[in-house]
């Protein structure tokens, strides 16, 4: 079973591309936000990422719907462009991670990710998972990264159970 789970919340905006790295061997969570987004993430992936991990990415391209249609035509157009950018960058991130043999890669839609966690929920999850972090300030993007990483853990464990059950039959 893998001990490292990475949750990726890609975004096409400055300082919006964040990951959470859970290492169950020492029960720590570390966060990384890539100032230059996809380019810095790609460099980290090639040079600094763990040798083996389960990676889960919030891939907004999996959810084929228009999100928020409120506001003026100009506001709606801006929101639509932002959604399109995030759909593209999240699909690119998924595709890039998928080509690495060292990762088990999963993608989840924003709907599958579920409602955003508050800082209070975040602290409760850290406690219930018996995880610690040295991060002093936590952004919503980093909280989302932890939420996504735990989805990856659940998906990987579900796949392992299915494989074991198939082998027993």
Identify the pLDDT of residue 164: 45
**Residue 24 CB partners (closer than 8 Å, separation 6+):** 3, 4, 5
Identify the pLDDT of residue 68: 64
Residues of the domain holding 60: 4-168
Put simply, whether the predicted model's pTM sits higher than 0.85 gets the answer yes
CA distances from 125 to 55, 98, 143 (A): 19, 28, 10
List for the chain the helix, strand, coil content (%; round to 5): 50, 20, 30
Identify the pLDDT of residue 39: 94
Inform me whether the pLDDT recorded for 21 exceeds 90. yes
C-alpha span between 45 and 14 (Å, rounded): 19
Q: What is the pLDDT of residues 39-54, one digit of tens each?
A: 999 999 999 999 899 9
C-alpha span between 136 and 133 (Å, rounded): 8
Identify the pLDDT of residue 1: 54
Q: What is the pLDDT of residues 78-119, one digit of tens each?
A: 766 667 778 889 999 999 999 987 899 999 999 999 999 999
What's the CATH number where 35 sits?
A: 3.30.420
C-alpha span between 8 and 30 (Å, rounded): 12
- The number of domains in the chain is 1
Q: What is the pLDDT of residues 23-76, one digit of tens each?
A: 999 999 999 999 999 999 999 999 999 989 999 999 988 886 665 677 777 776
C-alpha span between 51 and 45 (Å, rounded): 10
C-alpha span between 153 and 84 (Å, rounded): 28
Counting residues of the chain whose pLDDT is more than 90, the rounded percentage is 63
């Amino acid at each position: 079973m893998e001990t490292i789970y990475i949750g990726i919340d890609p975004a096409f905006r400055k300082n919006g591309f964040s990951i959470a790295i859970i290492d169950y061997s020492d029960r720590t969570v570390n966060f990384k936000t890539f100032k230059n987004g996809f380019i810095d993430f790609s460099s980290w992936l090639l040079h600094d990422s763990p040798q083996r991990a389960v990676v889960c990415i919030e891939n907004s391209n999996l959810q084929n719907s228009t999100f928020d249609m409120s506001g003026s035509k100009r506001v709606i157009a801006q929101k639509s462009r932002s959604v399109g950018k995030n759909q593209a960058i999240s699909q690119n991130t998924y595709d890039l991670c998928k080509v690495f043999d060292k990762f088990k890669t999963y993608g989840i839609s924003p709907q599958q990710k579920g409602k955003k966690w508050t800082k209070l929920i975040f602290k409760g999850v850290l406690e219930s998972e018996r995880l610690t972090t040295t991060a002093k300030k936590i952004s919503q993007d980093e909280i989302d990264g932890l939420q996504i990483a735990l989805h990856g853990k659940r998906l990987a464990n579900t796949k392992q159970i299915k494989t074991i059950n198939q082998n027993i039959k």
